[in-house]
A = this chain, B = another copy of it.
Amino acid sequence: MRIAVDAMGGDHAPREVVEGAIRAAGEFGVEIILVGPASVIESELSKRVGRDSRIALVNAGQYLVEGEHPAYALRQKRDASILVATRMVKEGKADAVVSCGPTGGVVASALQVLGTLGGVSRPMFGGNFLGFAPRTVVIDMGGNVDCRPEMLLDFAVVGAVFARRMLDIPNPTVALLSTGAEKGKGNTQVLESYPLFERSGLNFIGNVEGCDIPSGKANVIVCDGFVGNILVKYTETLGRAVCSYLEDQLRTKLSSRELQALVDGVLAATNIVDVRGGDALLAVNGVVCKGHGRSLRQDVTKTIGRAKLAVERDLVGAIGKALAEVRDKLALPGAR
């Protein structure tokens, strides 16, 4: 398996990305193609003794930086590392691409080069959300806002495939995130989506509330990306705030090793991306994994591990098939 890695993506690129990619080659037995300015990457590689034959280099003279408008930057930088790496997937030269670069750039590259599955308009972000609820996927956590009911149904279908393929849950339960458990509670979006979910063939269990997320009441919790984006960002900083509080309170009461283990546990429970690595953009016609911008080498390694798993489990093929099936079943249009 060959994984193209955007060597210039992330706050600690290229060093941490290169180091993390080299580790991944050893740990997972994958071939790594580092994509970025050859001289920069060579310089990183030259700091190491010896050279792993599983590490290749593909030159890309440009790269995106945080804060650029992604679509505009990609038009200006046709040789940007993320674009070059994504094209390798399109051309069959790599099985997946991994980047810790700006989200907008990764998404725009994926859209431009690979396109989406089932005619969905934008990639989705979804995955297991909390360490407290390791068998719960929240979707969409990304950029899809003002979603029509058909889009929420797409999230549900894709989330259910993710739960089956990536979490080994055979018949995942699916729920709509709402303000009350009863049918009829929620906003117009939820009320209109409910009947569509009922006849979707999914294992739909109705609405869940915010309080049901940590307990993992459903395997797939569906929400508009506006809500999901707020939830995921909120959770991450809330978890960090709790950890700071614990450090303050327990500094004199626990050994530094005990305290670190406790804080790591709380972070793992509240911020699964840091623990597990970044996951694939969903409903893209190819495996594109996005790690956190602040990824260190171990985070890069983990994200490459997620990309490998997505390839092995044929996540892309399964999502494409499931989206086509639900369109057939409900006689919905193919593209939206």
Q: Which residues of A contact B (CB under 8 A)?
A: 130, 132, 143, 145-146, 177-179, 186-188, 209-215, 223-227, 229-238, 240-242, 245-246, 249-250, 253-254, 258, 262, 265-266, 269-270
Q: Is there an interface contact between B132 and A241, defined as CB atoms closer than 8 Å?
A: yes
Chain B's nearest CB lies how many Å from the CB of A173? 18
Q: Which 9 A-B pairs have the closest CB atoms?
A: A210-B234, A210-B233, A210-B230, A145-B187, A211-B233, A211-B237, A214-B241, A179-B229, A187-B226
Q: How far apart sit A226 and B186, CA to CA, in the bound complex (Å)?
A: 7
Q: Is there an interface contact between A269 and B245, defined as CB atoms closer than 8 Å?
A: yes
Counting chain B CB atoms within 10 Å of each CB, the highest count among A177, A226, A235, A265 belongs to A226
- Contact A238/B237 with A179-B225, A249-B262 known, Cβ cut-off 8 Å: no
- Contact A230/B209 with A146-B187, A188-B146 known, Cβ cut-off 8 Å: yes
For A266, list chain B residues within 8 Å (CB). 242, 245-246
The interface residues of chain A, by DSSP majority, are classed as helix
Q: Is there an interface contact between A145 and B210, defined as CB atoms closer than 8 Å?
A: no
Contact for A249 among B143, B249, B265, CB less than 8 A: B265
Contact for A234 among B178, B186, B213, CB less than 8 A: B213
For A186, list chain B residues within 8 Å (CB). 145, 226
